[in-house]
Chain A
Amino acid sequence: MNPGAPVLQLAGIRKSFGPNQVLRGIDLTVHEHEVVAVIGASGSGKSTLMRAINLLERVDDGQIFLSGQDISDPRVKEDLVRAQIGVVFQHYNLFPHMTVLNNVTLASRVVRKLSREEAEARGMELLTRIGIAEKAKKYPDQLSGGQQQRVAIVRAILSDPILLLLDEITSALDPQLVGEVLDLVMELKLAGKTILMATHEMEFARRAADRVIFLHEGRIAEDGPPAQVLGNPQQQVTRDFLSRLYNFS
């Protein structure tokens, strides 16, 4: 797919927690319609990177541009930025006291101030598309993990974010439920969404991603098409990481 305009640009992003330097200068550009997979050992800073982009974590240095606007500028309205970025977390993080439908329509109603009817019509449309319309009035704990995670995805995309951040969205799922979630991500890719996703599913990264970046010791150690990064890595550290991963599974 032809890369469009840059949606996300990171320039020299640094982040430490006390003495622990988690991100040591990350430069990355994600273009429109592009799907970029972030791989790396547990604790390598994938989640920190996602939270930084979404302004849930303040960076120590560097700049973050969303559609050309510097969103790391303190004068920027953080809530408005976050409303343009959809996030799906490892543990779904649905709101347990709200029905499925209220979960997915919350942002549209409260942030974008759509009428309840409008928001619910759109919510039902998407819930129908993922095949759980009949669960709309149920509470999250009455759904399987796979269903909850798909609801979380719908919640993230309902207000048409310009960028989707998926943080290991299948790693808390039972193996037999992973497929239905990945299928939905694949659909989003085909619909032309711009996605940055941290993942441990190498097979899925190979199929869905346009680019794979490997995070190691706070830097991007390798960046390229999946066939290259996963099949024929240029760096020794990437080869080590992948061989450890395949030895385990």
Chain B
Amino acid sequence: MFNEREHERFISPIELQRREYRRMKTVRSVLISCASFLVFSFLIWWILSRSEGWELVRKMYFDPKHLVASAPQVFKGILVNLKILGAALVGTAVLSTLLAITRTTKSAALFPLRLVSLLYTSIFRGLPMIVVLYLIGFGIPGLNIFGRIDKNLIGGICITLVYSAYVAEVLRAGIEAIHPSQRAAARSLGLSHTQTLRIVILPQAIRKVVPALMNDFVAMQKDVGLVSVVGAVDAVRQAGIYTAKTFNYSSYVFAGLMFICMSLPFVLLTDWYAAKVRRREQMEGAV
């Protein structure tokens, strides 16, 4: 404690030199990367603007007039995407947890359940999203047992079915990474099997796989853009409607921008969290 204070007060000339040198190096790297960014951007612009079709492409995709004109409609669509995303998120959380828990059971009596969830995760991780959307989106209403089903709901169900398979595998890896002694400790205190899972195992398991879960969430945000296939009037569909009227594709660019805006906070959050975990692990390694 006392020593640290001493160090703060007195810094040797050698250390001052070192700090000065490091600062100079930092400044130099920043300047270099800024310069290369500018050069690179200029090059791209130069190539594009000299290409023959550029004028046409700019008009078709980046026309400010159309970007603005399509905005209200596409924005209304993105709200539909958000709604579906929210529902799918809740659905996925529930279904994937159930799948992961079933897959990590050990008892012989539960073998059929284990088999079912193994089949489920294997099948739905192999099926392309678009195939699931076509099969479920048109197959289930075709059965005609539930009456008319809301298109948004069907989209949400498809997303849930596919993503639960991925998230279940991530969670299972997390659960299996928890040492069995944690379970023994919980059970020895008198906690039931379910209490042990809920209070001791799952919270630790989820913590271990947060970065992977966040990645899946970002992927899910983007795949929500596919629900227009089953007829949901989302941002992509709205952009399509606009294009059909005006023969201009700027509405799709706007929709793309909206999707990026939607996922950007989580992409940044994921990176930040991953870096934080890495730092903490490195610190633990050093001790």
**A binding-site residues for B, Cβ under 8 Å:** 51, 54, 56, 79-80, 82-85, 87, 89, 91, 93-97, 106-107, 110-111, 155-156, 159
CB <8 Å contact, A95 and B190: no
* Bound: A91/B190 CA distance, A: 19
Of chain A, the residue at the smallest CB distance from B203 is: A97
- Name the segment of B192-200, B237-245, B254-262 touching the other chain: B192-200
Which residues, 148 to 192 on B, are CB-close (under 8 Å) to A? 181-182, 184-192
Of chain A, the residue at the smallest CB distance from B192 is: A79
CB distance from A246 to the nearest CB of B (A): 31
What residues of chain B lie closer than 8 Å to A96, measured between beta carbons?
Answer: 204
CB distance from A232 to the nearest CB of B (A): 36
CB <8 Å contact, A82 and B204: no
Size range of the interface on B? 10 to 19
What residues of chain A lie closer than 8 Å to B200, measured between beta carbons?
Answer: 95
Q: Say yes or no: is B22 at the interface (Cβ < 8 Å to chain A).
A: no
CB contact between A107 and one of B182, B184, B191, B204 (< 8 Å): that residue: B191
What residues of chain A lie closer than 8 Å to B185, measured between beta carbons?
Answer: 87, 89, 93-95
What are some 6 contacts across the A-B interface (CB < 8 A)? A85-B188, A93-B181, A94-B185, A97-B203, A106-B189, A110-B195
Of chain B, the residue at the smallest CB distance from A111 is: B190
Answer whether A89 and B181 are a contact pair too, CB < 8 Å, given A96-B204, A106-B199: yes
What residues of chain B lie closer than 8 Å to A110, measured between beta carbons?
Answer: 191, 195, 199
CB distance from B277 to the nearest CB of A (A): 14
**B binding-site residues for A, Cβ under 8 Å:** 181-182, 184-192, 195, 199-200, 203-204, 207
CB distance from B93 to the nearest CB of A (A): 19
* Bound: A156/B199 CA distance, A: 17
CB <8 Å contact, B187 and A56: yes
CB distance from B179 to the nearest CB of A (A): 8
What residues of chain B lie closer than 8 Å to A94, measured between beta carbons?
Answer: 185
* Bound: A230/B259 CA distance, A: 74
Given A87-B185, A93-B185, 11 new contacts (CB under 8 A): A79-B187, A79-B191, A82-B188, A82-B190, A83-B189, A89-B184, A94-B185, A107-B189, A110-B199, A111-B190, A159-B190
CB <8 Å contact, A111 and B191: yes
CB <8 Å contact, A155 and B189: yes
CB contact between B204 and one of A87, A97, A159 (< 8 Å): that residue: A97
* Inter-chain contact total with CB atoms closer than 8 Å: 54
* Bound: A235/B181 CA distance, A: 35
CB distance from A67 to the nearest CB of B (A): 16
* Bound: A117/B184 CA distance, A: 27
CB distance from B105 to the nearest CB of A (A): 17
What residues of chain B lie closer than 8 Å to A155, measured between beta carbons?
Answer: 189
Answer whether A82 and B182 are a contact pair too, CB < 8 Å, given A97-B204, A97-B207: no
CB <8 Å contact, A82 and B187: yes
What residues of chain A lie closer than 8 Å to B187, measured between beta carbons?
Answer: 56, 79, 82
CB distance from B283 to the nearest CB of A (A): 11
CB contact between B184 and one of A85, A93, A156 (< 8 Å): that residue: A93
Answer whether A56 and B181 are a contact pair too, CB < 8 Å, given A82-B190, A155-B189: no
Answer whether A79 and B203 are a contact pair too, CB < 8 Å, given A89-B184, A93-B181, A95-B185: no
CB contact between A56 and one of B188, B199, B204 (< 8 Å): that residue: B188
**Which A-B residue pairs are the 3 nearest by beta carbons?**
A83-B190, A93-B185, A107-B189
CB contact between B182 and one of A54, A56, A83, A95 (< 8 Å): that residue: A95
CB <8 Å contact, B188 and A54: yes
Of chain A, the residue at the smallest CB distance from B181 is: A93
CB distance from A174 to the nearest CB of B (A): 14
CB <8 Å contact, A87 and B191: no
What residues of chain A lie closer than 8 Å to B190, measured between beta carbons?
Answer: 79-80, 82-84, 107, 111, 159
* Bound: A79/B189 CA distance, A: 8
What residues of chain A lie closer than 8 Å to B184, measured between beta carbons?
Answer: 51, 56, 89, 93
What residues of chain A lie closer than 8 Å to B186, measured between beta carbons?
Answer: 95
* Bound: A89/B189 CA distance, A: 12
CB distance from B171 to the nearest CB of A (A): 16
* Bound: A82/B189 CA distance, A: 6
* Bound: A159/B187 CA distance, A: 14
